[in-house]
Structure 1
Protein backbone atom coordinates (compact mmCIF):
# COMPACT_ATOMS: atom_id res chain seq x y z
CA UNK A 1 0.00 0.00 0.00
CA UNK A 2 1.22 3.52 -0.78
CA UNK A 3 0.61 5.91 2.12
CA UNK A 4 1.12 9.67 1.84
CA UNK A 5 1.94 12.21 4.53
CA UNK A 6 1.36 15.95 4.07
CA UNK A 7 2.10 18.70 6.57
CA UNK A 8 1.78 22.46 6.56
CA UNK A 9 3.20 24.63 9.34
CA UNK A 10 0.41 27.13 9.91
CA UNK A 11 -3.35 27.24 9.65
CA UNK A 12 -3.25 29.77 6.81
CA UNK A 13 -1.17 27.45 4.62
CA UNK A 14 -2.98 25.02 2.35
CA UNK A 15 -1.87 21.37 1.91
CA UNK A 16 -3.68 20.96 -1.43
CA UNK A 17 -0.46 21.16 -3.52
CA UNK A 18 1.07 18.34 -1.47
CA UNK A 19 -2.12 16.25 -1.44
CA UNK A 20 -2.53 16.56 -5.22
CA UNK A 21 1.09 15.50 -5.81
CA UNK A 22 0.74 12.54 -3.41
CA UNK A 23 -2.47 11.39 -5.13
CA UNK A 24 -0.81 11.68 -8.54
CA UNK A 25 2.06 9.54 -7.21
CA UNK A 26 -0.42 6.82 -6.27
CA UNK A 27 -1.10 7.41 -2.58
CA UNK A 28 -4.05 5.29 -1.53
CA UNK A 29 -4.38 7.02 1.85
CA UNK A 30 -3.04 10.42 2.92
CA UNK A 31 -2.44 11.65 6.45
CA UNK A 32 -2.55 15.45 6.74
CA UNK A 33 -1.82 17.83 9.56
CA UNK A 34 -1.21 21.46 10.35
CA UNK A 35 1.65 21.41 12.82
CA UNK A 36 4.98 23.15 13.01
CA UNK A 37 7.86 20.85 12.12
CA UNK A 38 9.70 21.86 15.31
CA UNK A 39 7.32 19.78 17.43
CA UNK A 40 8.52 16.23 17.89
CA UNK A 41 5.04 14.83 18.53
CA UNK A 42 2.77 15.12 15.53
CA UNK A 43 -0.37 13.00 15.97
CA UNK A 44 -1.07 12.31 12.29
CA UNK A 45 2.55 11.39 11.57
CA UNK A 46 2.57 9.05 14.58
CA UNK A 47 -0.64 7.40 13.38
CA UNK A 48 0.73 7.16 9.84
CA UNK A 49 3.97 5.52 11.01
CA UNK A 50 2.05 3.05 13.21
CA UNK A 51 -0.23 2.07 10.32
CA UNK A 52 2.57 1.23 7.88
CA UNK A 53 3.29 -2.47 7.37
CA UNK A 54 6.09 -4.40 5.70
CA UNK A 55 5.96 -3.87 1.95
CA UNK A 56 4.19 -0.49 2.21
CA UNK A 57 5.71 2.73 0.90
CA UNK A 58 5.52 6.10 2.64
CA UNK A 59 5.62 9.07 0.27
CA UNK A 60 6.01 12.75 1.07
CA UNK A 61 6.02 15.77 -1.19
CA UNK A 62 9.29 17.09 0.27
CA UNK A 63 11.76 15.82 2.90
CA UNK A 64 11.21 18.77 5.25
CA UNK A 65 7.52 17.84 5.53
CA UNK A 66 8.47 14.62 7.33
CA UNK A 67 11.25 15.57 9.71
CA UNK A 68 12.53 18.45 11.85
CA UNK A 69 16.20 17.86 11.06
CA UNK A 70 18.48 15.65 9.01
CA UNK A 71 19.11 13.53 12.12
CA UNK A 72 15.37 13.12 12.69
CA UNK A 73 14.83 12.28 9.01
CA UNK A 74 17.55 9.63 9.03
CA UNK A 75 16.09 8.05 12.20
CA UNK A 76 12.57 7.90 10.74
CA UNK A 77 13.69 6.44 7.41
CA UNK A 78 16.04 3.96 9.13
CA UNK A 79 13.10 2.78 11.26
CA UNK A 80 11.01 2.38 8.09
CA UNK A 81 13.80 0.46 6.38
CA UNK A 82 14.24 -1.82 9.43
CA UNK A 83 10.51 -2.61 9.23
CA UNK A 84 10.67 -3.37 5.49
CA UNK A 85 8.85 -0.17 4.48
CA UNK A 86 9.93 1.92 1.50
CA UNK A 87 10.20 5.70 1.47
CA UNK A 88 9.85 8.20 -1.38
CA UNK A 89 10.23 11.95 -1.50
CA UNK A 90 8.71 13.41 -4.65
CA UNK A 91 10.54 16.76 -4.81
CA UNK A 92 14.03 15.39 -4.10
CA UNK A 93 13.44 12.19 -6.15
CA UNK A 94 14.59 9.92 -3.33
CA UNK A 95 13.26 6.38 -3.45
CA UNK A 96 14.59 3.88 -0.89
CA UNK A 97 12.81 1.06 -2.70
CA UNK A 98 15.65 1.20 -5.26
CA UNK A 99 19.36 0.58 -4.68
CA UNK A 100 20.24 4.09 -5.96
CA UNK A 101 17.76 5.69 -3.59
CA UNK A 102 19.14 3.72 -0.65
CA UNK A 103 22.65 4.87 -1.59
CA UNK A 104 21.58 8.53 -1.64
CA UNK A 105 19.88 8.11 1.68
CA UNK A 106 22.92 6.43 3.25
CA UNK A 107 24.98 9.41 2.09
CA UNK A 108 22.48 11.68 3.87
CA UNK A 109 22.88 9.54 6.99
CA UNK A 110 26.67 9.76 6.81
CA UNK A 111 26.45 13.55 6.45
CA UNK A 112 24.15 13.76 9.48
CA UNK A 113 26.58 11.69 11.55
CA UNK A 114 29.50 13.83 10.32
CA UNK A 115 27.58 16.99 11.30
CA UNK A 116 26.89 15.60 14.82
CA UNK A 117 30.59 14.72 15.23
CA UNK A 118 31.65 18.22 14.15
CA UNK A 119 29.26 19.83 16.62
CA UNK A 120 30.53 17.59 19.42
CA UNK A 121 34.19 18.34 18.55
CA UNK A 122 33.52 22.10 18.46
CA UNK A 123 31.76 21.94 21.81
CA UNK A 124 34.64 20.05 23.42
CA UNK A 125 37.22 22.44 21.90
CA UNK A 126 35.22 25.45 23.11
CA UNK A 127 35.00 24.07 26.65
CA UNK A 128 38.75 23.34 26.69
CA UNK A 129 39.53 26.85 25.44
CA UNK A 130 37.30 28.37 28.12
CA UNK A 131 38.96 26.27 30.84
CA UNK A 132 42.40 27.33 29.56
CA UNK A 133 41.31 30.96 30.07
CA UNK A 134 40.29 30.12 33.63
CA UNK A 135 36.55 29.93 33.06
CA UNK A 136 34.55 27.15 34.62
CA UNK A 137 31.37 25.87 33.08
CA UNK A 138 28.12 25.28 34.81
CA UNK A 139 25.82 27.30 36.91
CA UNK A 140 27.11 29.99 39.25
CA UNK A 141 26.97 28.93 42.92
CA UNK A 142 23.93 30.27 44.75
CA UNK A 143 25.98 31.02 47.83
CA UNK A 144 29.32 32.83 47.69
CA UNK A 145 32.28 31.58 49.74
CA UNK A 146 31.67 34.47 52.16
CA UNK A 147 28.00 33.49 52.54
CA UNK A 148 28.98 29.87 53.20
CA UNK A 149 31.46 30.95 55.88
CA UNK A 150 28.75 33.12 57.49
CA UNK A 151 26.32 30.19 57.36
CA UNK A 152 28.89 27.88 58.98
CA UNK A 153 29.48 30.47 61.73
CA UNK A 154 25.72 30.82 62.30
CA UNK A 155 25.42 27.04 62.67
CA UNK A 156 27.94 27.07 65.51
CA UNK A 157 25.15 28.58 67.63
CA UNK A 158 23.09 25.59 68.84
CA UNK A 159 19.91 27.70 68.98
CA UNK A 160 19.97 28.29 65.18
CA UNK A 161 18.76 25.48 62.90
CA UNK A 162 19.85 24.68 59.35
CA UNK A 163 16.34 25.51 58.21
CA UNK A 164 16.65 29.03 59.67
CA UNK A 165 20.08 29.55 58.09
CA UNK A 166 18.76 28.34 54.71
CA UNK A 167 15.77 30.71 54.97
CA UNK A 168 18.11 33.57 55.92
CA UNK A 169 20.15 33.06 52.70
CA UNK A 170 16.99 32.28 50.68
CA UNK A 171 18.14 28.80 49.64
CA UNK A 172 16.90 25.29 50.33
CA UNK A 173 18.44 23.10 53.02
CA UNK A 174 19.77 20.85 50.26
CA UNK A 175 21.59 23.80 48.66
CA UNK A 176 22.98 24.87 52.02
CA UNK A 177 24.21 21.34 52.80
CA UNK A 178 25.87 21.04 49.37
CA UNK A 179 27.59 24.42 49.82
CA UNK A 180 28.83 23.50 53.31
CA UNK A 181 30.12 20.18 51.98
CA UNK A 182 31.87 21.93 49.05
CA UNK A 183 33.69 24.26 51.45
CA UNK A 184 34.56 21.37 53.80
CA UNK A 185 36.04 19.36 50.89
CA UNK A 186 38.40 22.19 49.86
Structure 2
Protein backbone atom coordinates (compact mmCIF):
# COMPACT_ATOMS: atom_id res chain seq x y z
CA UNK A 1 0.00 0.00 0.00
CA UNK A 2 2.81 2.41 0.74
CA UNK A 3 4.52 1.75 -2.58
CA UNK A 4 2.05 3.30 -5.02
CA UNK A 5 3.39 5.33 -7.87
CA UNK A 6 1.64 8.13 -9.65
CA UNK A 7 2.68 9.22 -13.11
CA UNK A 8 3.63 12.85 -13.41
CA UNK A 9 3.17 13.24 -17.16
CA UNK A 10 -0.43 13.41 -18.29
CA UNK A 11 -1.66 11.16 -21.04
CA UNK A 12 -4.62 11.72 -23.34
CA UNK A 13 -7.25 9.36 -24.68
CA UNK A 14 -5.95 7.19 -27.47
CA UNK A 15 -2.38 7.11 -26.21
CA UNK A 16 -0.84 3.83 -25.14
CA UNK A 17 1.26 3.77 -21.99
CA UNK A 18 4.01 1.16 -21.61
CA UNK A 19 4.41 -0.02 -18.02
CA UNK A 20 6.32 -2.56 -15.93
CA UNK A 21 5.04 -3.68 -12.56
CA UNK A 22 7.79 -4.27 -10.03
CA UNK A 23 6.50 -6.51 -7.26
CA UNK A 24 7.90 -5.95 -3.80
CA UNK A 25 8.06 -8.72 -1.19
CA UNK A 26 10.03 -9.39 1.98
CA UNK A 27 12.78 -10.80 -0.25
CA UNK A 28 13.11 -7.58 -2.23
CA UNK A 29 11.87 -5.84 -5.36
CA UNK A 30 11.70 -7.48 -8.78
CA UNK A 31 14.46 -6.01 -10.98
CA UNK A 32 13.05 -3.83 -13.76
CA UNK A 33 14.91 -5.89 -16.39
CA UNK A 34 13.04 -9.02 -15.22
CA UNK A 35 9.58 -7.41 -15.34
CA UNK A 36 7.33 -7.94 -18.34
CA UNK A 37 6.42 -4.78 -20.22
CA UNK A 38 2.68 -4.26 -20.72
CA UNK A 39 0.82 -1.82 -22.93
CA UNK A 40 -2.17 -0.04 -21.50
CA UNK A 41 -4.36 1.91 -23.94
CA UNK A 42 -6.04 4.92 -22.35
CA UNK A 43 -9.71 4.78 -23.26
CA UNK A 44 -11.40 6.99 -20.65
CA UNK A 45 -12.70 4.01 -18.69
CA UNK A 46 -13.52 6.13 -15.64
CA UNK A 47 -16.03 8.31 -17.47
CA UNK A 48 -17.82 5.49 -19.29
CA UNK A 49 -21.20 4.29 -17.98
CA UNK A 50 -21.41 0.85 -16.40
CA UNK A 51 -22.67 -1.98 -18.56
CA UNK A 52 -26.17 -3.17 -17.64
CA UNK A 53 -26.35 -6.19 -15.34
CA UNK A 54 -28.63 -9.21 -15.00
CA UNK A 55 -28.92 -9.67 -18.78
CA UNK A 56 -31.58 -12.17 -19.80
CA UNK A 57 -33.15 -13.49 -22.99
CA UNK A 58 -36.74 -14.68 -22.64
CA UNK A 59 -36.36 -14.64 -18.85
CA UNK A 60 -33.20 -16.78 -18.75
CA UNK A 61 -29.57 -15.83 -18.19
CA UNK A 62 -27.48 -16.92 -21.17
CA UNK A 63 -29.87 -19.56 -22.56
CA UNK A 64 -28.60 -22.15 -25.03
CA UNK A 65 -31.84 -22.26 -27.01
CA UNK A 66 -34.76 -19.84 -27.49
CA UNK A 67 -38.15 -20.34 -29.15
CA UNK A 68 -40.51 -17.60 -30.31
CA UNK A 69 -39.83 -13.88 -30.29
CA UNK A 70 -36.70 -12.66 -28.56
CA UNK A 71 -37.27 -10.63 -25.38
CA UNK A 72 -34.09 -9.08 -23.97
CA UNK A 73 -34.05 -7.58 -20.47
CA UNK A 74 -31.41 -6.14 -18.15
CA UNK A 75 -30.89 -4.18 -14.96
CA UNK A 76 -29.47 -0.67 -15.32
CA UNK A 77 -26.35 0.34 -13.42
CA UNK A 78 -24.87 3.66 -12.26
CA UNK A 79 -21.12 4.27 -11.89
CA UNK A 80 -21.73 7.32 -9.70
CA UNK A 81 -24.00 5.73 -7.09
CA UNK A 82 -22.47 2.23 -6.97
CA UNK A 83 -19.79 3.16 -4.48
CA UNK A 84 -20.83 1.54 -1.18
CA UNK A 85 -20.56 -2.15 -2.15
CA UNK A 86 -19.97 -4.43 -5.12
CA UNK A 87 -23.21 -4.93 -7.01
CA UNK A 88 -23.87 -8.51 -8.11
CA UNK A 89 -24.80 -9.18 -11.74
CA UNK A 90 -28.04 -10.78 -10.54
CA UNK A 91 -29.22 -7.71 -8.59
CA UNK A 92 -32.09 -5.56 -9.79
CA UNK A 93 -31.95 -2.22 -11.54
CA UNK A 94 -30.20 0.83 -10.12
CA UNK A 95 -31.35 4.24 -11.30
CA UNK A 96 -29.03 5.04 -14.23
CA UNK A 97 -27.06 8.25 -14.73
CA UNK A 98 -28.86 11.17 -16.32
CA UNK A 99 -28.87 10.71 -20.09
CA UNK A 100 -27.77 7.08 -19.96
CA UNK A 101 -29.36 4.78 -22.53
CA UNK A 102 -28.96 1.17 -23.64
CA UNK A 103 -28.22 -0.19 -27.12
CA UNK A 104 -29.10 -3.75 -28.14
CA UNK A 105 -27.76 -5.32 -31.33
CA UNK A 106 -29.11 -8.48 -32.92
CA UNK A 107 -26.85 -10.50 -35.25
CA UNK A 108 -28.16 -13.13 -37.67
CA UNK A 109 -26.91 -16.70 -38.03
CA UNK A 110 -24.20 -15.51 -40.43
CA UNK A 111 -22.80 -13.10 -37.84
CA UNK A 112 -24.07 -10.03 -39.68
CA UNK A 113 -25.76 -7.18 -37.85
CA UNK A 114 -29.49 -7.56 -38.50
CA UNK A 115 -31.01 -4.92 -36.20
CA UNK A 116 -29.90 -2.22 -33.76
CA UNK A 117 -32.22 -0.77 -31.12
CA UNK A 118 -30.65 2.26 -29.48
CA UNK A 119 -31.66 5.04 -27.12
CA UNK A 120 -33.54 2.65 -24.82
CA UNK A 121 -34.28 4.23 -21.44
CA UNK A 122 -36.12 1.24 -19.98
CA UNK A 123 -35.00 -2.25 -19.03
CA UNK A 124 -36.14 -4.36 -21.98
CA UNK A 125 -36.65 -4.63 -25.71
CA UNK A 126 -38.15 -7.22 -28.05
CA UNK A 127 -37.27 -8.52 -31.51
CA UNK A 128 -40.69 -9.70 -32.72
CA UNK A 129 -40.85 -12.73 -35.02
CA UNK A 130 -42.27 -10.70 -37.92
CA UNK A 131 -39.40 -8.22 -37.62
CA UNK A 132 -36.80 -10.98 -37.36
CA UNK A 133 -38.24 -12.64 -40.48
CA UNK A 134 -37.81 -9.40 -42.41
CA UNK A 135 -34.36 -8.69 -40.99
CA UNK A 136 -32.96 -12.20 -41.56
CA UNK A 137 -33.41 -12.22 -45.34
CA UNK A 138 -33.79 -16.01 -45.13
CA UNK A 139 -37.56 -16.33 -45.24
CA UNK A 140 -37.40 -17.85 -41.77
CA UNK A 141 -36.08 -16.98 -38.32
CA UNK A 142 -32.37 -17.37 -37.73
CA UNK A 143 -31.05 -20.75 -36.58
CA UNK A 144 -28.54 -18.94 -34.34
CA UNK A 145 -28.61 -15.41 -32.90
CA UNK A 146 -26.09 -13.22 -31.10
CA UNK A 147 -27.27 -10.34 -28.91
CA UNK A 148 -25.08 -7.51 -27.59
CA UNK A 149 -26.17 -5.16 -24.79
CA UNK A 150 -24.25 -2.01 -23.83
CA UNK A 151 -24.88 1.35 -22.18
CA UNK A 152 -24.00 4.83 -23.45
CA UNK A 153 -24.10 8.39 -22.15
CA UNK A 154 -22.86 11.63 -23.68
CA UNK A 155 -21.02 9.79 -26.46
CA UNK A 156 -19.26 7.42 -24.05
CA UNK A 157 -20.00 3.69 -24.42
CA UNK A 158 -19.64 1.18 -21.58
CA UNK A 159 -16.21 -0.44 -21.37
CA UNK A 160 -17.77 -3.91 -21.49
CA UNK A 161 -20.93 -5.34 -23.02
CA UNK A 162 -22.98 -8.48 -22.65
CA UNK A 163 -22.74 -10.90 -25.56
CA UNK A 164 -25.34 -13.66 -25.52
CA UNK A 165 -25.47 -16.32 -28.24
CA UNK A 166 -28.08 -19.02 -28.55
CA UNK A 167 -29.71 -21.42 -30.99
CA UNK A 168 -33.25 -20.89 -32.18
CA UNK A 169 -35.86 -23.60 -32.24
CA UNK A 170 -39.39 -23.92 -33.44
CA UNK A 171 -41.29 -25.46 -36.31
CA UNK A 172 -38.85 -26.32 -39.11
CA UNK A 173 -35.71 -25.41 -37.14
CA UNK A 174 -33.21 -27.92 -35.74
CA UNK A 175 -35.60 -30.85 -35.96
CA UNK A 176 -33.98 -33.73 -34.14
CA UNK A 177 -32.05 -31.48 -31.76
CA UNK A 178 -34.97 -30.01 -29.84
CA UNK A 179 -37.91 -31.73 -31.60
CA UNK A 180 -39.45 -28.37 -32.46
CA UNK A 181 -39.48 -27.09 -28.87
CA UNK A 182 -37.13 -25.64 -26.32
TM-score calculated relative to the size of structure 2 = 0.22
Higher relative contact order (CA closer than 8 Å, sequence separation 6+):
2
Which structure is higher in helix share?
Answer: 1
Please say which structure displays the higher CA radius of gyration: 1
Which structure is higher in strand share?
Answer: 2
